[in-house]
Homo-oligomer: A and B are copies of this chain.
Amino acid sequence: MTTRASADSTREIPEATVARLPIYLRALTALAESSIVTCSSEELATAAGVNSAKLRKDLSYLGSYGTRGVGYDVDYLRYQIARQIGVTQDWPVIIVGIGNLGHALANYSGFRSRGFRVVALLDTDPSRQTEVVAGVDVRPFRDMEAIVRQHGVAIGVIATPAAAAQEVADRMVAAGIGSILNFAPTVLSVPPGVDVRKVDLSIELQILAYHEQRKAPQEQSV
């Protein structure tokens, strides 16, 4: 999809590896808080819940930041991963749809501590626009374009009902947002170049139900 010309500083990092980097980052932060200065791939892999060989291969895509016979410097590796992901800088984020889930997301402290700053909460319902959630006041959805331009927002979160999600996504794309995190249970269609990630709570439960059903097949006979 993306044609990459230079392969020196910007190597191709496989998608599966990118998805694990935040896990390593979190594990490293936990180690740092325990005042651990150095760790081996085995220790970090255990903390992150993966195989040590996989961890080493993942890290090798970023560069050669370990020392053979010793391991990795926790702070240094943490910085390198954070830099690769891009969370050394601050990312302004907007959340659209301030229902139950929107409230929870706005109050989630994990965003702030990981480089994401919620700059606006948006909703079409005028009765919600008097609220103040997590120190940010809810504003009318029609203000989105202005807010996006003002703060240079590149990432948007959709927490609306399914019926409204596509319309919101279209407006986000039109306003210049390039990445969308979608909590609405619907398939979004967006132009190429725009990234969408989907989190679907009931789908996760259904996957668990499938496996659970297989565990006790004698229970639900007829």
Contacts and interface: CB of A to CB of B under 8 A. Distances in A.
Given A49-B187, A202-B22, A202-B111, A179 B208 contact: yes
A85 to B, nearest CB: 5
A208 B200 CA distance: 16
Query: Chain A interface residue count: which class?
Result: 35 or more
B204 A201 contact: no
A87 interface: yes
Total copies of this chain within the assembly: 2
A104 interface: yes
Contacts of A208: 155, 179-181, 195, 197
Interface stretch (A119-127, A139-147, A214-222): A214-222
Given A212-B86, A212-B179, A213-B86, A22 B207 contact: yes
Interface string A180-206: 110001010100010101011111111
Given A110-B201, A204-B181, A209 B91 contact: yes
B212 A111 contact: no
- Give the one of A203, A204, A205 with max B CB within 10 A: A205
Contacts of A197: 204, 207-208
Interface of A: 2, 10, 18-19, 21-23, 25-27, 47-49, 84-87, 89, 91, 93, 99-101, 103-105, 107-108, 110-111, 114-116, 154-155, 157, 178-181, 185, 187, 189, 193, 195, 197, 199-215, 217, 220
The 5 A-B residue pairs with the shortest CB-CB distance, nearest first, are: A86-B213, A49-B187, A100-B104, A179-B208, A22-B206
